[in-house]
Structure 1
């Protein structure tokens, strides 16, 4: 086993401690290991499907985090081909929620979402991807007027 040092904000640590107590864990290391394993399993299950997809990237971030808003905007401008639209909601004095519709190759969408979620100051993030396949069933045409 390896001993590591991590930095966790006070609110998240309080949630981890409460969950550990509720579930009967003896210490923080045990619950953090289990949560990490669960996260890795979830990531494996959500591995990007091959081909094109549409996706929804949902994340909450601290808008006062140093240069975070600027970095997010730069990331989106650098990947303008993936982003269709973004909904921005002010949750409170410090937190913003954004929901972004994405479209492109599943590899590119997943890579972009991972990069946004990993930004310092992003407190929560999740991407849902749906394969975008052409409709080949007879009689099912979708037209925009």
Structure 2
């Protein structure tokens, strides 16, 4: 287990009361975990700002009847196969589709891919959701201390 550090936080009573109300509404949340989550969120945003490796999702809503759009989107995705981990395609209506593209790479690469996809006529909405690879979010382990990790695939 990592070394824990106890700290004190000072805030206005109204802000404290709002924090307590937030925690009371969540399952099993406590102040320490809430603060840890805020720090992790900030580290993930900073990694994105600093163009470090990140994971994310690009969500596209588009008109699949737009001329050659499906082929253009597929071509772009093949061109960026190093960044794209997986895609999910859903038919929203007879004309509209949503595609969720899970990506991994430097923030600039992910943003560039999103912009390339967004620029196509017929793409009605494109959004990027950022996430962390987790590398900076947990304490470093001593060499050989981590147990083997298995997902049970095959």
Q: TM range, normalised to the smaller chain?
A: 0.5 to 0.7
- TM-superposed deviation, 1:136: 4.5
> What 5-or-longer segments of structure 1 have no aligned partner?
1-44
User: Does structure 1 residue 144 correspond to structure 2 residue 145?
Assistant: no
Equivalent residue, structure 2, for 1:128: 129
CA distance in 2 between partners of 1:104 and 1:74 (Å): 19
Q: How many residues were matched structurally?
A: 101
User: Does structure 1 residue 75 correspond to structure 2 residue 91?
Assistant: no
TM-score when normalising by structure 2: 0.58
CA distance in 1 between partners of 2:147 and 2:62 (Å): 40
Partner-residue secondary structure (3-state), 2:74: helix
TM-score when normalising by structure 1: 0.62
- TM-superposed deviation, 1:105: 1.0
Q: Which has the larger radius of gyration?
A: 2
> What 5-or-longer segments of structure 2 have no aligned partner?
1-44
Please report the RMSD computed on the Cα atoms of aligned residues, expressed in angstroms.
Answer: 2.5
CA distance in 1 between partners of 2:87 and 2:71 (Å): 15
CA distance in 2 between partners of 1:120 and 1:142 (Å): 47
CA distance in 2 between partners of 1:142 and 1:116 (Å): 39
Q: Equivalences for 1:1-145 in 2 at 5 Å?
A: 48-49=48-49, 50-134=51-135, 136-137=138-139, 138=141, 143-145=149-151
Runs of 4+ in 1 over 2 A off after TM superposition: 138-145
